Structure 1
Amino acid sequence: MTGRKEIAQRMQDDGIRYLLTQFVDLNGSPKAKMVPVEHFEDVLDEGAGFGGAALLGMGQGPHSHDMMARIDLDSYTPVPWDDGLARFASDLFVDGEPHPYCPRQHFKSVLASARAKGYVFNVGIEPEHFLVTRNNDGSIQVWDPNNIDSLRKPCYDFKGIANVMGYLREMMTAMRKIGWDAYQSDHEDANGQYEINFHYSDALTTADRYTFFKMMTSQYAQKHGAIATHMAKPFTDRTGSGGHIHYHIADSETGENLFLDESDRRGLGLSQMAYNFIGGVFAHAPALCSVMSPTVNCYKRLQVGSALLGSSSGFLWTPAFVSYGDNNRTQMIRTAGPGHLEDRTMSAACNPYLAFGAYLSAGLDGVRRGLDPGEPNLGNLYELGLDEIRRRGVRMLPQSLAESLAELKADSVVQESLGVIYDEFVDQKEAEWREYHRQVTPWENRALPDDVLV
């Protein structure tokens, strides 16, 4: 734990004059107040005040007492795009008590429960995102400053990455400046899509960093005349953006990777605990989907069907089947290395505090119950076809937000992982689905037969 005197000295050394006390709402969107550094002790002990009714899903009405955002000293982050400013991730309190509708506060309780069992959840994330511009009619298009990002298969293309080298270099330099090990960046599978990787940490730190990463992309993209979007699928004919998680459970005392077993009979280097964890994720996967892919748009990314649909490059890169395998990107869970799992279905639009908490709870339920996921799938699931997939008994993930919410309502483990946030989450997401379902889209007008239109 970092002490207040140490942080006060670091702020003085870093020339900090203002603080951002930042938390997230139900959707994981960062919210903040700016506070002069002279009031550091106030926001540490009492917090910065917010009216919760001004935000969706915070469990407050206009009559409710203030939510007080108290800064977490361990999250101290000098803001690299502006001098004299630092950000602290904050926890919400009401009347001096932890606010149960605070996603970060609740996630900490989930992590504390796991630590009491001797477990630490270590997570890395692949933050895919697009750079776009907005047209006069409100639509968006790929930000392509040199008009060269048009390849059908643009992934890793040198010209594509050179096209936005300024943005990527500034982002990576900034990340390294604040102590993150940003170790690679690339042009992803879709035109205008990029990824910048940073080293894994404990799940709370990674959730804090992913939130700040989104804040950073918005500011550095803006400097170049672009908009950074973490929308799951902003374009019909391009691959969507994931927040693929890489993870393992470690021993809370020794740091030993409890998912690692080089003598694994299945040859994947996974321990029995790792297999039981996968079994838990599989048991709760349909309900987990609602938290990992929490928007209507997310399900445009989780498509079942021809790999050619929804991506001009020829692949979706987003498995919609509940499966695991070796180092194989057609699976929901890929064994990226011994003791190292990756879930490829997590959406870039998730709230990381809620998603990580639900995922951990599901996996540990499998550990508690000794669930086995069965034998791994070692082939290309894209080539099998739906009939063969069904014959093998491989389940599909929900194909709409409404379907995943129905699964959530039937899953007590994932419900409990959300605590009191569950009711607010379901209410807001059902309202989102109803609003979406009422819309008449241009596609419908184009697709209707002529005799219906006349």
Structure 2
Amino acid sequence: MTNGNPDSDGGLTPSEQAVLDDIEEQNIDFLRLQFTDILGTVKNVSIPAHQAKKAFTEGIYFDGSSIEGFVRIQESDMRLDPDPDTFAVLPWRSNGEGGSARLICDVVDREGNAFDGGPRQVLKSVLDQAAEMGYTVSIGPEPEFFLFEKDEDGNATTRPHDTGGYFDLAPKDLASDIRREIIFTLEDMGFEIEASHHEVADGQHEINFKYDDALTAADNIATFRAVVRAVAEQNDIHATFMPKPIGEINGSGMHSHISLFDEDGNNAFADDGDEFNLSETAYQFMGGVLEHAPAFTAVTNPTVNSYKRLVPGYEAPVYIAWSDVNRSALIRVPDAAGVSARFEIRSPDPSCNPYLALAAVIASGLDGIERSVDPGSSVREDIYEFDEAKRAEYGIDTLPGSLGEAVTALENDEVVSDALGEHVAEKFVEAKRQEFGEYKASVSEWEEERYLETF
């Protein structure tokens, strides 16, 4: 169950031994063994650093029945298998006497097999499928978030921390110092930050980190959310990745740039002779993404609140189409060629489980390649201005309008369901059906204000 080839002395791989050396050199006292549940919530088991070798060679047991969507009580014994390549010191936990570090783990069942209900394993399985087809997958995520003030009792509010707008500078962008602190923390943990800026809405921000292979990208998204919230908390500010915390302003998305590379390291999406610099493989992958978009939306936009963002008029995609010039379509093709050729999927939001979301999108694209799916023509007009008849003329469908619709689409899509695996698909649908049912049974403040005195 160890990663790579163990040496002949201690039963450790070179990368695992390097982690032990780092623990000693950097005076690490505790290790956080990190993983996520099916809903994407980061979980961790904390162990003394001197247990690191045991963690690598024997694994660390935990109660899987206590984790959302994992196993029943009679199947509760599970193990965490740390990935040594994910070792990172936690800067906000470091001090003169000792610090903490984190290792992201795969989940292993009692027989020592990779647990098919583990979200990281789900993504690995889809990436194995891509590898069998001769591809590796590159992802460049762009997660957005809000910073809100707290009340006098320390509870989160929806009062934005600043009143800045898109690309504003101080004094309107009061959070520039917090963003800088987040960036320094991420860089200390090995991130390569490309850009950061204030987003359109008050209190809204975006920090972009360099594209990476899909598994590392998913790990990075999970780490990014933890770092943002930890640094905000240190500044007595609440950070949230809720897609639409305030009505009638832009919500937070997680636009994701995607490309495939072949076994020779060439960008399989690139064709400099094409109008959009995209290859036939890229178009087929895009076709699969568009075809399966209703189903994977349940995974990339997994909360009731996600569908308050996916409405016309707030720069979020609603329509299943692609374009190179406007942002009303699900997919946008940026002006990039050669090694940078790619397209951007604009629907995902940062509340998603990154492992499951990327697995669902990638599996959709791979199915497109296998079946040579045609994505249709680019739509260069603003689809927001189309009426229903014109959308029908162009053959443009819409994304699901609610979590309930999206879950139904997921249940009816064999490709996306198979990518998640029987265990995850069943548990995910069960959890989301319950969530949507609770939402339908609730009465909102809007309904009270609208109807209480009218009827």
TM beyond 0.5: yes
1:268 equivalent in alignment to 2:280: no
SS in 2 for 1:207: helix
CA distance in 2, matches of 1:127, 1:46: 36
Q: Which residue of 1 aligns with 2:10?
A: none
CA distance in 2, matches of 1:227, 1:385: 40
Any idea what the Cα deviations from partners look like across 1:95-152, whole Å, max 9, x if unmatched? 12211111002211211121122110100100100111344797722342xxxx336x
Any idea what the Cα deviations from partners look like across 1:163-210, whole Å, max 9, x if unmatched? 012211111112222221112111101111101111010000010011
Any idea what the Cα deviations from partners look like across 1:253-291, whole Å, max 9, x if unmatched? 322110000101xx1100000000011011111111111
Q: Which residue of 1 aligns with 2:327?
A: 329
1:202 equivalent in alignment to 2:205: no
Q: Is the 2:156–2:238 contact (alpha carbons within 8 Å) kept by the matching residues of 1?
A: no
SS in 1 for 2:328: coil
Q: Which residue of 1 aligns with 2:146?
A: 130
CA distance in 1, matches of 2:187, 2:374: 40
Q: Which residue of 1 aligns with 2:8?
A: none
Q: Which residue of 1 aligns with 2:11?
A: none
Question: Which of residues 90, 94, 115 is equivalent to 2:109?
Answer: 94
Cα gap change, 1:449 to 1:177, in 2 (>3 Å):
closer
Q: Which residue of 2 aligns with 1:310?
A: none
> Offset of 1:157 from its aligned partner?
1.2
CA distance in 1, matches of 2:373, 2:181: 45
Q: Which residue of 2 aligns with 1:226?
A: 237
Matches within 5 A, 1:297-316: 297-304=305-312, 307=313, 316=314
Q: Is the 1:176–1:182 contact (alpha carbons within 8 Å) kept by the matching residues of 2?
A: yes
Q: Which residue of 2 aligns with 1:374?
A: 376
Q: Which residue of 1 aligns with 2:7?
A: none
Q: Which residue of 1 aligns with 2:88?
A: 77
Question: Which of residues 152, 157, 160 is equivalent to 1:140?
Answer: 157
1:441 equivalent in alignment to 2:444: yes
Q: Which residue of 2 aligns with 1:4?
A: 16
Question: Which of residues 25, 33, 48 is equivalent to 1:36?
Answer: 48
> Offset of 1:384 from its aligned partner?
2.8
Matches within 5 A, 1:151-170: 154-159=165-170, 162-170=173-181
Question: Which of residues 199, 222, 226 is equivalent to 1:211?
Answer: 222
Q: Is the 1:78–1:86 contact (alpha carbons within 8 Å) kept by the matching residues of 2?
A: yes
AA paired with 1:42?
A: K
Q: Is the 1:69–1:93 contact (alpha carbons within 8 Å) kept by the matching residues of 2?
A: yes
AA paired with 1:376?
A: S
> Offset of 1:445 from its aligned partner?
1.3
Any idea what the Cα deviations from partners look like across 1:273-332, whole Å, max 9, x if unmatched? 00000110111111111111111110011114xx2xxxxxxxx11111001111432221
Question: Which of residues 386, 391, 394 is equivalent to 1:392?
Answer: 394
TM-score by length of 1: 0.91
CA distance in 2, matches of 1:199, 1:391: 39
> Offset of 1:40 from its aligned partner?
0.4
Matches within 5 A, 1:182-197: 182-197=193-208
Any idea what the Cα deviations from partners look like across 1:8-32, whole Å, max 9, x if unmatched? 2222222222111000011111100
Between 1:396-405 and 1:48-57, the stretch displaced more is: 48-57
Q: Which residue of 2 aligns with 1:432?
A: 435
CA distance in 2, matches of 1:390, 1:209: 39
SS in 2 for 1:332: strand
Q: Is the 2:32–2:100 contact (alpha carbons within 8 Å) kept by the matching residues of 1?
A: yes
SS in 1 for 2:93: coil
CA distance in 1, matches of 2:126, 2:200: 35
Gaps of 5+ in 2: 5-13
AA paired with 2:346?
A: R
Q: Is the 2:317–2:347 contact (alpha carbons within 8 Å) kept by the matching residues of 1?
A: yes
Any idea what the Cα deviations from partners look like across 1:45-98, whole Å, max 9, x if unmatched? 22222212222211x222323221111011111112221211111011121221
Question: Which of residues 139, 143, 150 is equivalent to 2:163?
Answer: 150
Percent identity between the aligned chains? 34
CA distance in 2, matches of 1:237, 1:36: 48
AA paired with 1:141?
A: T
CA distance in 1, matches of 2:156, 2:305: 15
> Offset of 1:162 from its aligned partner?
3.9
Question: Which of residues 353, 356, 365 is equivalent to 2:358?
Answer: 356
Gaps of 5+ in 1: 308-315
CA distance in 2, matches of 1:150, 1:37: 44
AA paired with 2:316?
A: T
CA distance in 1, matches of 2:60, 2:331: 40
CA distance in 2, matches of 1:207, 1:445: 40
Aligned length: 432
Between 1:134-143 and 1:173-182, the stretch displaced more is: 134-143
SS in 2 for 1:131: strand
SS in 2 for 1:346: coil
Cα gap change, 1:28 to 1:449, in 2 (>3 Å):
closer
AA paired with 1:11?
A: I
Q: Is the 2:410–2:417 contact (alpha carbons within 8 Å) kept by the matching residues of 1?
A: yes
Q: Which residue of 2 aligns with 1:289?
A: 297
TM-score by length of 2: 0.91
Question: Which of residues 147, 159, 171 is equivalent to 2:182?
Answer: 171
